[in-house]
Amino acid sequence: MSPPAAAFEPAVSVTGNGLFIKKDLAVKAAFNDHAKTLAEMADKWESFTFSPIRESQVSRAMTRRYFADLDSYAESDIVIIGAGSCGLSAAYMLGKQRPDLKIAIIEAGVAPGGGAWLGGQLFSAMVMRKPADAFLDDLGVAYEDEGDFVVVKHAALFTSTLLSRVLSFPNIKLFNATAVEDLITRPAPTPTDPHAVRIAGVVTNWTLVSMHHDDQSCMDPNTINAPLVISTTGHDGPFGAFSVKRLVSMQQIEKLGGMRGLDMRTAEDAIVKGTREVVKGLVVGGMELSEVDGANRMGPTFGAMALSGVKAAEEALRVWGE
Ligand code: 48N
């Protein structure tokens, strides 16, 4: 079968499936003589051209990498559910401390970051109470010091900096637009609970599929095995507090305490100090924890999210090392 007519007559080269595709020598020569730096491009747009490409090259560049990642992270060391401020803070700490661990972050949204793109009620500045400024210093995010608290001029500056640092770690892979729709369990009976389990990974699906199980025939999920899961799925949203609600429906915890009213002074301490392994193999942090413990919400202040992530990473490494 001869290759489809292309926009340019390609020169000869062998593709992955042995198909002979020729590259356009004229286009390639034009590109080779072209600007290589932004300065060289200035005022020469008339003769500007991109290097030649074939659509299949783009498709293969994306799919080869994605499916290689799926294959590699099918066995992960730690899975983090939820790429909000808490989950990303935990990932940042783990990425720095344990470059040897394979860490998969599963985020239901196309855009990671959760509720941390704005400070509160669509206002852009982000408040963090001290000592959470230590996390900002470690991350390298500038802020204005107001005494007992600091202010990052735009929440997106914090979240984008944190996200870029997390994504720069070679041992961390973000699978966004992907929902955790169940937990992998293994029997772990105790003297008091013969039905106790330990968490051994996550069950995932494309988020759009997870949201349509009620109106489509069965669309089976995928899985990721991991000896430890950190769940930071927040307190709201279509999948909010996912893991702790699942623990109740699996009868691993009796009931949820339910997030209580807003009280900044008690909420933030409770969330940071309460971040822990809720059942074997599952560490819960951030606002998801407020649903377990019945902690107050703190509203538009984010220091507890960052430091809960720091503690979740510490708890994870403690459990992982056991
Ligand atoms: O930002 P969130 O919702 O959660 P946290 O705990 O990281 O930060 C909470 C914080 O933004 C607040 O709520 C502030 C402090 N306000 C407090 C208050 O009193 O109102 O991020 C959770 C992330 C989101 O990006 C979700 O899309 C994602 O988790 N997620 C999931 N991802 C994959 N699978 C799931 N099942 C799932 N559930 C949620």
Question: Can you give the pLDDT of all 322 residues of the chain as single tens digits?
Answer: 454 444 444 444 555 555 555 555 555 666 667 778 899 889 988 988 899 999 999 999 999 999 999 999 999 999 999 999 999 999 999 999 999 999 999 999 999 999 999 998 889 999 999 999 999 999 999 999 999 999 999 999 999 999 999 999 999 999 999 999 999 999 999 999 999 999 999 999 999 988 888 888 778 899 999 999 999 999 987 788 999 999 999 999 999 999 999 999 999 999 999 999 999 999 999 999 999 999 999 999 999 999 999 999 999 999 887 7
Contact call for residues 135 and 308 (beta carbons, < 8 A): no
Q: What is the pLDDT of residue 8?
A: 44
Q: Is 279 exposed, middle or buried (0-12, 13-18, 19+ CB in 10 A)?
A: buried
What pLDDT sits at residue 6? Answer: 46
Which ipTM did the prediction report? 0.99
Q: Is 213 annotated as a binding residue?
A: no
In the three-class reduction of DSSP (H, G, I as helix; E, B as strand; rest coil), residue 127 is classed as: strand
Question: Do the beta carbons of residue 285 and residue 234 sit within 8 Å?
Answer: no
Residue 106 and residue 81 in contact, taking contact as beta carbons nearer than 8 Å: yes
Cα(180)–Cα(109) distance, integer angstroms: 11
Instruction: Please state, in angstroms and rounded to a whole number, the distance separating the CA atoms of residues 171 and 98.
Output: 9
245 vs 168: CA distance, rounded Å = 32
Pocket of ligand 1 (CB under 6 A): 81-87, 106-109, 114-116, 179-180, 232-235, 237, 239-240, 242, 262, 286-288, 297-299, 302, 305
Largest CA distance in the chain: 78
Given the CA of residue 309, which atom of ligand 1 is nearest to it? 7
- To test the ligand 1 pocket, which listed residue (80, 93, 107) has its Cβ within 8 A of the most ligand atoms? 107
User: Which residue type sits at 109?
Assistant: G
